Amino acid sequence: MPDWSKKTWSVEVPVDHIDPPVPGRGYEKCSPRQEILPAGWNGFKSKALTSDILVDHDVSWQVRDGATLYADVYRPPHTDEKVPALICWSPFAKKFNGITSLQVMTYANLGIPDGTLSGLEKFEGPDPADWCPRGYAIINVDVRGTGDSEGIMAVLGSQEGEDGYDTVEFFAKQPWCNASQRPPSLTAIAPWEGCGDLYREQFARGGIWAGDMYEKIIKKYMLRGHHGTEGMKAMFDKHPLANDWWNDKRPDMKNINVPTYITGTWSNTMHGMGAIRGWLEVDTPDKWLRWHPWQEWYDLWGNKQAVPELMQFFDHYLKGADNGWEKTPKVRMGVLKFGKSKPLENVVEKDFPIPRTQYRKAYLQPGNKLSLESTPSNPQTVEYDSTKSESYASFTHTFDKTTQIVGMSKAILYMSCDDLDDMDIFIMLRKLDKDGKPMLALNVPWEGLPVTEFDQIPKEGATEVILYAGPTGILRASLRAIDWDKTMHENWPFYPQDKEEKIQHSKVVRLEIGIWATGIEFEAGERIRFQVAGTPQGLLNFPMTDHVKNKGIHKIHVGGQYDSHVVLPFT
């Protein structure tokens, strides 16, 4: 069997077991065949087909190292007309659909009405019931190591890049595909909710392990295959610093030069910064950014704007339709208001970051104050117990008029610890109401839910999928070094994280901590609170507590030569 792990890495790549696929759980035993699902078919008792769809089950091809991959192909029948193909690429089973995923993974199906999906859609993919009548083929791929596809499952990186390339070229040569008439084969992409750096944005943000959701939910319940998968946690345990294998999972987005339609949302704590880097670095003038205020699955399947707009984009670039797509504003933003207020959608801007942004320093002051004016003249300290989740330092500013904070923030903190030669720092920006009470944003419209208040959402449903508390920043002090040449924006530093620089006991160290981008509107009298702690902040399904290495009291030095502050993007 071909084995990608024989690629030359500086470290040995561990392989973890994943359970084999089981029939009836988004999987059918490999059985290459062709069938036509007739108009009116409603096999999942949800959304009936409006036209016939031809299904090629378990189409197989070999990628360059000899591994065989499989896919299901949905396309229009009864025609000799060639059609463009949309390849849906993910480690989730090609028959694990959106209906099942919403039922088992979300509260109240995210408010998406029954009958929205046909069940032919792959999780996080477009629905063939919408696209095939429009003259498209939808290709649901079982990537390397998933389902019956051969090889060990690779999680992004150059291996998936090679497999993806070979897959595009295979389907481009099919007699029903129009790509063979219009080289190069990859014509346009729509990276909805981009993922840009598995080590620094997902699995080891700030240098601290943060992959428990992947280990305990995704790998355990959602990944199925016969040959195992890369061992992410095992690799981190053996090699917690960035190495060539980890860095291989950060693509060079400057190499992308095809028309690109990017979406993103503030509340997604895994994908947002990758989408922003894509917007900044993709090397084509034909790129669009729509930053919406919703949860990503809701936007894909529940937002009535999303599918027609994506169709317009692909019609233009894959079919040559003169449909006015090029007049679509290049940048549209969403702004969250929190509470019961509806967010702003489709706010047209000239660029992102928004050109009119004023980056202002908000200085940390004793007495829980955050000042836009000046830092205290005399050095002082603010302390918290780094080992207690209820202990944190907070600094608050009250707005005297309606104000929007949209973009990337960062904190400059001068800190010390008497008890340990390192510090794990967790920071957060929270919106408070006029009475000083912390607020939440709902990631889907209220209208689709069976509740009308936050406290009516059951505990098991009140996760970061549906709720947003604010943007966070994370950094292990010994990994504070910054490579400015690789930094995409001054407020989102690139940390090489390939060597430790321990701090001396009691020595004051300067930390520069990027904060996940956000977009929030504050009314007069509402407040922003900047909080610093030794334990994870925000709404996390798995709060990383077991992986934090802290001891004793953390001291934040403010005033005088220690101008500890947070940089905020006022728009």
DSSP-derived pairing of the beta strands 287-292 and 260-265:
parallel
Burial class (CB in 10 A: 0-12, 13-18, 19+), 317: buried
Q: Rounded CA gap, 59 and 121, in Å?
A: 17
Distances (CA, A) of 288 to 62, 279, 305: 34, 8, 15
Which pLDDT score, from 0 to 100, does residue 180 have?
Answer: 55
Tell me which residues of the chain have a pLDDT lower than 50.
Answer: 1-2, 4-5, 181-183
Nearest by Cα to 475 from 506, 509, 442 = 509
DSSP-derived pairing of the beta strands 137-142 and 85-88:
parallel
Which pLDDT score, from 0 to 100, does residue 544 have?
Answer: 65
Q: Rounded CA gap, 536 and 394, in Å?
A: 14
**Torsion angle defined by CA atoms of residues 184, 190, 193 and 194, in that order, rounded to the nearest 10 degrees:** 20
Which pLDDT score, from 0 to 100, does residue 185 have?
Answer: 77
Q: What is the pTM of this model?
A: 0.94
Which pLDDT score, from 0 to 100, does residue 5 have?
Answer: 47
Nearest by Cα to 69 from 155, 156, 168 = 168
Report the run of H or E that residue 279 belongs to, with start and end.
helix 272-281
Quote the tokens at residue 139: 């290709």
Distances (CA, A) of 112 to 96, 115, 299: 18, 9, 10
Q: Rounded CA gap, 367 and 362, in Å?
A: 14
Which pLDDT score, from 0 to 100, does residue 183 have?
Answer: 46
Interior angle at CA 347, CA 344 and CA 348, nearest 5: 180
Domains identified in the chain and CATH numbers: 4-328 (3.40.50.1820), 358-570 (2.60.120.260)
Which pLDDT score, from 0 to 100, does residue 93 have?
Answer: 94
- Contacts of range 445-454, beta carbons closer than 8 Å, 24 or more positions apart: 445/111, 445/294, 445/342, 446/340, 447/111, 448/108, 448/110, 448/111, 448/112, 448/113, 448/302, 449/107, 449/108, 449/111, 450/108
Amino acid at 262: I
Residue with tokens 């690139």: 494
102: alpha, beta or left, given left = phi > 0 and alpha = psi -120 to 50? alpha
Dump pLDDT digits (tens) for 220-248: 889 999 999 999 999 999 999 999 999 99
Q: Can you point out the beta strands (E) in 366-423?
A: 369-371, 380-385, 392-398, 403-417
Beta partners for residue 441, in sequence order = 468
Q: Can you point out the beta strands (E) in 21-67?
A: 33-37, 53-62
**Residues contacting 167, CB < 8 A, separation 6+:** 61, 63, 69, 71, 87, 89, 141
